[in-house]
Amino acid sequence: MPLSKERVLDAAVKLADREGLESCAMRRLADELGVGAMSLYYHVSSKDELITGMVDIVFSEIELPSTDGDWKTAMRQCAISKRNVLNRHRWAIGLLESQATPGPASFRVHNAEIGYLREAFSVEMTIQACSVLDAYIYGFALQEKMAPFENAEGAAALAEQQAREFEAQAEQQQLAALADEFPYLAEVVAGHVAKVGYDFTEAFEYGLDLILEALETRRDTA
Amino acid sequence: MPLSKERVLDAAVKLADREGLESCAMRRLADELGVGAMSLYYHVSSKDELITGMVDIVFSEIELPSTDGDWKTAMRQCAISKRNVLNRHRWAIGLLESQATPGPASFRVHNAEIGYLREAFSVEMTIQACSVLDAYIYGFALQEKMAPFENAEGAAALAEQQAREFEAQAEQQQLAALADEFPYLAEVVAGHVAKVGYDFTEAFEYGLDLILEALETRRDTA
DNA sequence: ACCTTACTCGTACGCTGTACGATTTCGCAA
DNA sequence: TTGCGAAATCGTACAGCGTACGAGTAAGGT
């Protein structure tokens, strides 16, 4: 099977998924493909182009619902799919919006989103809605990426474990001082997250619906 | 004036502001301070610690309003200050929330935000509100960072310029085909942004108020 | 048989972070 | 003043990075 741009990009995405973006070096990627390092440069002009291509693959995985339903459910599905894709490819989170030259898959997604919204909103309002929703989705994915746990149980477990260490350790004074200095934060972390945990999916959809409903209200009262 | 951790971090932040994070290499930073490269490692144990320190400086610049006023104006001011700080230090945008170990300034900010919200909301709702607002702010900053223009006039100028090239160039067919393929996107870009431009500050505050009002409504109807 | 084109890859260069050990500088006790 | 331990500085070296350059190979058309 010959090398090709597609094969290179696919391998790069898989490698980044598996071992992180920093492991996705040219020599390493070439090894993965059983090929010399410089061979990659025939199909990809630079590492920047490689990453641009990888990002566009990520965009292409976003599912765009048909234009049948109303704008709200369409945007909702779109947002949820976006978050899922971003969670499959966490390395892409800081890059999606920071690409100098967006690829075709990026155009496709934005065009579809604007299409859904234009059905119900003015051009000005469509731009605003797109901006707010996109910002929320990327920002949420960013938070999710850095969180040291995966789900509600994990969050509760981690918080509880830290509470245990809190009592057991000799650093107790320091941590107690910390809780003293930041009482509100301590209340939330120790008093709530440790008990019921934190469910990212639930939190995401709560905020998403909050924004969607607010947009609807703005439209009706405009 | 002797070297110190503070002096190193300050110089690093200034260098990153001026020439970008990628220019902030250890040797370069040492030159900036008129010092050998390895001298930095006496005050900072690794580049990671350097960056963690830089991020905490950024957090420390966020202005936290007094707890006198109501939660809404407090959170509004806080959000606006956050965006301003993030725009002064664009290199920090992808890093703020991706730090494994948040510094004290980060705790301080989150504690204050939670404090404002707890005055009006339940613990659960406070967590949600914090999550939504933070996600929006970081996401918006991310969009702003990658945009190839700075303000409304710039946006209009750029869009218009591209429209000119659109007609002038031999690539016309390609671009026309692009506009054909993505009609909604084309309408927004060519038909609106090119005319009235795009004002980031205005857009940011529109979305911010949208979310703040939605939170207020949720609280009152709960 | 020969040339062209498409493709692969070895070597080398300048950059990065940083481990290690030598060196310099400084404050304080004798 | 001298001497000594600690604090601070820095030169060298190494492994890794992206990639410029040019040599090498394989396949297809004449």
B22 CA → C10 C1’, Å: 30
Q: Does the CB of A27 sit below 7 A from strand D?
A: yes
Share of residues in chain A with pLDDT > 70 (%): 91
How close B163 gets to chain A, by Cα (Å)? 17
- Cα distance between residue A98 and residue A107, in whole Å: 14
Its pTM stands at 0.92
Confidence of residue B15 (pLDDT cuts 50, 70, 90): very high
The count of other CB atoms within 10 Å of the CB of residue B103 is 17
Q: Which residue of A has its CA nearest to B204?
A: A132
Q: Which residue of A has its CA nearest to B146?
A: A98
A108 with B210: Cβ contact below 8 A? no
Residue B117 pLDDT greater than 90, yes or no: yes
pLDDT in tens, chain A (222 residues): 778 999 999 999 999 999 999 999 999 999 999 999 999 999 999 999 999 999 999 999 999 998 888 999 999 999 999 999 999 999 999 887 567 778 899 999 999 999 999 999 999 999 999 999 999 999 999 999 887 666 777 777 777 776 666 555 545 556 677 778 999 999 998 888 778 888 999 999 999 999 999 999 999 886
Cβ-Cβ contacts under 8 Å for B101 (sequence gap 6 or more): B52
| Angle between helical axes of B123-146 and B104-118 (0-180°, round to 10) | 130
**What is the nearest nucleotide to A36, using C1' and CA?**
C9
How close B94 gets to chain A, by Cα (Å)? 6
Residue B103 pLDDT greater than 70, yes or no: yes
Residues B137-178 have pLDDT tens digits of 999 999 998 876 667 777 777 777 766 665 555 455 566 777
DSSP state of B193: I
Mutation for testing the A interface, residue in B75, B82, B132 having most A CBs under 10 Å:
B132
| Token pair recorded at residue A87 | 């969670």
- Cα distance between residue B44 and residue B70, in whole Å: 41
A97 with B143: Cβ contact below 8 A? yes
- Which ranges of B35-98 would DSSP assign to H, the alpha helix? 40-43, 47-60, 71-88
What is the full DSSP assignment across B67-84? Answer: SSS-HHHHHHHHHHHHHH
Q: Minimal CA–CA distance to A78: which of A37, A39, A112, A30?
A: A112
| Angle between helical axes of A172-181 and A152-168 (0-180°, round to 10) | 120
Residues A8-61 have pLDDT tens digits of 999 999 999 999 999 999 999 999 999 999 999 999 999 999 999 999 999 999
Q: Minimal CA–CA distance to A95: which of A35, A157, A21, A42?
A: A21
C1' of nucleotide D21: residue with nearest CA? A38
Count of all residues that appear for chain A in the document = 222
| Token pair recorded at residue B137 | 């702010």
Count of all residues that appear for chain B in the document = 222
**Contact of A188 with A113, CB cutoff 8 Å:** no
Candidates B134, B139, B211; nearest CB to A134: B139
Mutation for testing the A interface, residue in B51, B59, B111 having most A CBs under 10 Å:
B111
